[in-house]
């Protein structure tokens, strides 16, 4: 059994801890790792895992030793593996102890589809104080660390797709009225086109709603607590807006599996939308001088969803005004374009299942590093 210290600073509300928690939960459940999770914002963590008590400095959650990372955190010896989520800085006291330990220090970096990632993945980084760490990049090829994918995830999704009653129960649990939920379950003529929305404040949600409001098919827009807070539940034309509670990670997966179209942001929800195998629009975390468009274009190159979807992806990420976004939505949702989009996303999902998942790639890297150290 490998022991690991995993450090996570919450910057993007839920994305950082979301990725971290999914990974360490898989390492514990499927690979029998013993993990201490150091996290600085337990309140954000609690939104994803209701078992967390943000008032408690140290607690056990699903077999994971959760430590509140602040000035009063315990001074503990490093574990076999030290993982800095999103390459966060480690505590000075912990760094001091790393000098005398054999802990393998891994900087788990941000996900990117850019070509340079393959060349940097797994490279060592020698610090001025003599300590070494290794870059570990999630990605979309076998030359990267891959994506988080639990062992039975795809089979669970496929089973969910066949069970309209479970989907009906989910919609009812989210507070959707029974008539709308029944129309979805029974696939009647007024079955809604379900759209899940998870976006940053900069997103042009008004343009999206205007487009959905004028479609022939009724739409059901699911908006989680804390997202586009100015929106209220109600109807605009053919678009029914429904605010839903912030749900646990397993329930969020089910929402993505159920929806016809998923709007996601950041990294964690992007990866989960990929495994949903459904049409999706990704909003990248905005960066100065529009450098996030480089990352977006690299992602588009990997997925190749078609020209109309490409235009919508760029419009959703701030390239254009509200009118252009509305037009892009209408064009991307045309029957021919949407069918091609749906096929492209399912094929991309299937392609990604053929590459090693992130947890397996991480374990292989640790084993290889241990073997190299022994030979040295």
Reduce the DSSP state of residue 20 to 3 states and report it: helix
Q: What distance in Å separates the CA atoms of residue 68 and residue 59, rounded to the nearest whole number?
A: 9
Query: Which pair of tokens denotes residue 227?
Result: 């997202």
φ/ψ (deg, to 5) at 290: 70, 20
Helix ranges restricted to H, the chain = 15-31, 42-48, 92-98, 116-120, 153-162, 164-173, 178-186, 205-213, 249-258, 268-276, 292-303, 307-316, 322-332, 335-352, 358-375
Contact indicator for 347, 341 with CB cutoff of 8 Å: no
Burial bucket for residue 215 (CB in 10 Å: 0-12, 13-18, 19+): middle
CA distances from 71 to 58, 153, 261, 336 (A): 13, 38, 43, 57
Q: What are the residues whose beta carbons fall under 8 Å from the beta carbon of 223, sequence distance 6 or more?
A: 197, 231, 241, 242, 243, 244
| Half-sphere exposure in the Cβ direction for 55 (13 Å, CA) | 0
Q: Decide the pairing of beta strands 124-126 and 132-136.
A: antiparallel
User: Which two three-digit tokens encode residue 152?
Assistant: 């039975």
Give the sheet arrangement for strand 239-244, strand by strand. 234-236, 239-244, 219-224, 193-197, 261-265, 280-283
Asked if 45 and 15 touch (Cβ cutoff 8 Å), the reply is no
- 289 part of the active site: no
Determine which one of 5, 16, 40, 326 is catalytic: 16
Residue 264's CB: how many other CB atoms inside 10 A?
A: 23
Alpha carbon distance 311, 331 (integer Å): 9
Q: 64-68 and 58-61 as β-strands: parallel, antiparallel, unpaired?
A: antiparallel
The catalytic position among 40, 109, 253, 267 is 267
Whether residue 347 lies in the annotated active site:
no
Hey, which residues does 68 pair with through a beta bridge? 39
Catalytic residues: 16, 267
């Amino acid at each position: 059994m490998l022991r690991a210290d995993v450090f996570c600073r919450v910057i993007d509300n839920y994305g950082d801890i979301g990725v971290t928690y999914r990974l360490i939960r898989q390492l514990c459940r499927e690979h029998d790792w013993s993990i201490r999770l150091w996290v600085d914002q337990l309140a954000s963590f609690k939104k994803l895992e209701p078992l967390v008590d943000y008032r408690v400095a140290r607690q056990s959650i699903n077999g994971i030793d959760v430590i509140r990372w602040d000035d009063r955190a315990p001074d503990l010896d490093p574990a076999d593996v030290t993982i800095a989520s999103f390459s966060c800085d480690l505590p000075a006291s912990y760094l001091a102890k790393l000098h005398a330990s054999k802990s393998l220090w891994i900087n788990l970096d941000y996900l990117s589809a850019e070509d340079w990632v393959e060349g940097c993945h797994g490279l060592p980084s020698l610090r001025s104080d003599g300590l070494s760490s290794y870059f570990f990049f999630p990605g979309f090829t076998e030359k990267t660390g891959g994506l988080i994918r639990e062992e039975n995830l795809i089979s669970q999704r496929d089973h969910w797709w066949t069970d309209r009653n479970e989907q009906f129960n989910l919609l009812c649990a989210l507070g959707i009225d029974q008539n709308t939920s029944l129309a979805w379950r029974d696939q009647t003529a007024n079955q809604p086109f379900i759209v899940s929305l998870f976006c940053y404040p900069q997103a042009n949600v008004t343009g999206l709603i205007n487009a959905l409001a004028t479609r022939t098919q009724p739409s059901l827009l699911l908006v989680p607590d804390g997202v586009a807070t100015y929106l209220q539940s109600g109807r605009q034309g053919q678009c029914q807006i429904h605010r839903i509670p912030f749900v646990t990670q397993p329930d969020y997966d089910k929402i993505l599996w159920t929806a016809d179209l998923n709007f996601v942001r950041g990294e964690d929800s992007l990866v989960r939308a990929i495994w949903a195998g459904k049409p999706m629009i990704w909003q990248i975390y905005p960066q100065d001088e529009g450098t996030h468009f480089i990352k977006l274009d690299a992602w588009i190159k990997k997925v190749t969803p078609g020209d109309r979807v490409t235009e919508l992806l760029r419009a959703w990420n701030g390239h254009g005004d509200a009118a252009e976004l509305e037009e892009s939505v209408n064009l991307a949702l045309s029957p021919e374009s949407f069918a091609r989009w749906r096929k492209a996303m399912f094929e991309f999902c299937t392609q990604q299942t053929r590459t090693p998942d992130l947890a397996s790639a991480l374990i292989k890297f640790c084993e290889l590093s241990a073997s190299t150290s022994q030979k040295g």
